[in-house]
Amino acid sequence: MILKYTEVIRLLVLLLLGSAVVPVQAQDKGVIVDKIIAKVDDKIILKSELEEAYIQFLSSGQVESGDSKCGIFESLVVNKLLIAKAEIDSVIVMEVEIDQNLDQRMQMIISQVGGDENALESYYGKTLLEIRSEIRESVEEQLIVQRMQNTITSDLSISPAEVRTFYNRIPIDSLPYFSAEVSIGQIVKIPSIGKEQKDEARKKLLEYKKRVEEGESFEDLARQYSNGPSGPKGGNLGYMKRGNLVPPYEAAALKLAPEEISGPVESEFGFHLIQLLGRRGNEYDSRHILLQLEPSADDLAKSAHYLDSLRTMIVEDSISFEKMAKEYSDEKLSASNGGFLVGDTGSTFVSADQLDFETFLTLDTMKTGTITHPLDYQMQDGKKAMRIIYYKDRIKPHQANILEDYQKIANAALAEKRNRILNSWFDEARDDVFIQIDDDFSNCKILQ
């Protein structure tokens, strides 16, 4: 949200400490009589939108003040103004960008319920496709707002002198206090599944295919044998656009005629038996039986031996950890940063409070500058793997200062400067569009 920040200290605290994004839990909010509370050209804001945004604001841990709801309301109006101006200025977002971002949002939402799609559907009382459809417009609007903001502030930068000036304006007793931060890297190795296990999976899927061809229900077999989240739904994935599923699956599915069943197909998720149900335009409907393979003890031991050899090369041959991680780690997100975990500010120092319990306990037994021997590790998607951890450095708990927290302070200073530019743009842009605010919110003095 874009707010007119006039309190420098409040801005710094918000940006330095951040706020966790948590889902709004269902609650009894009473009956809200919905109505239009603002119009920006042909864009409208409903009272229910403001109430939902306000609930999200409170659930994220923000402290309520007397004008919190007015500030949120103004941000909603500003966003609609950005969207209206984007139409006037022909600033657009491509459909493929919306779909890609929507895919990421859906994955994030699913991960918040432990990766269980059924739990998500049960929580909202809607199918994944219905949830996806409902949030698509919101995602599109957010992308347009971001595109407009970036267009307006495209040449923005901040100098070291501006950062120091920003920092020096803050009273010392108002600076936030940071918990310990650590700089840690990892090299991850996902075990290769042995040939015997793969052959066994192919054999099982061919048996299931034969049973379907002999009259058994594909859906019943999926419910009984599929390891994937779609298993309880008979393996049904529903209509999906091209590009939404992994390439091996999609390539095999699109070669099939309706009702035809593929042979075993290997993807990063395991082995699939796929049945195409239908097509319409750029979408196709399919179901599958997925067998996810667990690495054997021997597979894990081979990965541990592989990592141990990399560790030896780093420790004894003075080859940098960063170089090894970029070249050999299977965890691509951290590998691109030389194996290092990255904090909210883009720094390689992360708050110790944000570490998972297992990593926190591991670091507690280590000295800075050391590398562990291979350890068991579970990837975000649940896959078993092995990793080695490099404990590079640690910053003790401290009050914010420009030496240790320069990047955080620079980000805060840049955000304040960005808001000044946006506020100036708003003052001019609001004359180009029609804005009407409901009388019940006249006390908010929106955009005045």
- What is the predicted pLDDT for the residue at 126? 79
- What CATH number corresponds to the domain at position 95? 1.10.4030.10
Highest-confidence range of 229-233, 261-265, 353-357, by mean pLDDT? 261-265
Same domain, 213 and 309: no
More confident residue, 167 or 423: 167
Asked whether residue 52 carries a pLDDT value surpassing 80, the answer given is: yes
Same domain, 247 and 313: no
Domain final residue, candidates 358, 381, 396: 396
Average pLDDT for 392-412: 91
Same domain, 31 and 152: yes
Task: Tell me which residue range forms the domain holding 252.
Answer: 195-291
Asked whether residue 160 carries a pLDDT value surpassing 90, the answer given is: yes
Q: Give the model confidence (pLDDT) of 2-42 as tens digits.
A: 333 333 344 444 444 443 333 344 344 444 468 999 999 99
- What is the predicted pLDDT for the residue at 11? 43
Asked whether residue 145 carries a pLDDT value surpassing 60, the answer given is: yes
Ordered alpha helix ranges (H), 287-356: 297-317, 321-328, 332-335
Same domain, 270 and 300: no
Domain-located, residue 136: yes
- What is the predicted pLDDT for the residue at 6? 37
Domain final residue, candidates 396, 418, 433: 396
Same domain, 156 and 27: yes
Same domain, 111 and 216: no
Average pLDDT for 212-233: 91
pLDDT-based confidence at 63, cuts 50/70/90?
Answer: low
Same domain, 49 and 84: yes
pTM over 0.75: no
Q: Give the model confidence (pLDDT) of 277-308 as tens digits.
A: 999 888 899 999 999 888 989 999 999 999 99
More confident residue, 288 or 120: 288
Same domain, 219 and 255: yes
Same domain, 200 and 104: no
Q: Give the model confidence (pLDDT) of 251-266 as tens digits.
A: 999 999 999 999 999 9
Q: Which two tokens stand for residue 47?
A: 């009272």
Dist. CA 121–CA 125, nearest whole Å: 5
Domain count for the chain: 3
Domain-located, residue 202: yes
183: helix, strand or coil: strand
CA nearest neighbour of 120 among 19, 130, 239: 130
pLDDT-based confidence at 112, cuts 50/70/90?
Answer: low
Same domain, 260 and 372: no
Dist. CA 303–CA 310, nearest whole Å: 11
| 261 and 242 Cβ atoms separated by less than 8 Å | no
- What is the predicted pLDDT for the residue at 431? 83
- What is the predicted pLDDT for the residue at 188? 96
Dist. CA 107–CA 242, nearest whole Å: 17
- What CATH number corresponds to the domain at position 341? 3.10.50.40
- What is the predicted pLDDT for the residue at 114? 63
Same domain, 421 and 373: no
Percent of the chain with pLDDT over 90: 45
> b/e per residue, 256-277, with b = 16+ CB within 10 A?
beeeebbebbbbebbbbbbbbb
Average pLDDT score, the chain: 85
Sheet holding 265-267, edge to edge: 236-241, 283-291, 270-280, 265-267
Domain final residue, candidates 261, 291, 321: 291
Same domain, 171 and 185: no
Q: Give the model confidence (pLDDT) of 304-350 as tens digits.
A: 999 999 999 999 987 999 999 999 999 988 999 999 998 877 788 99
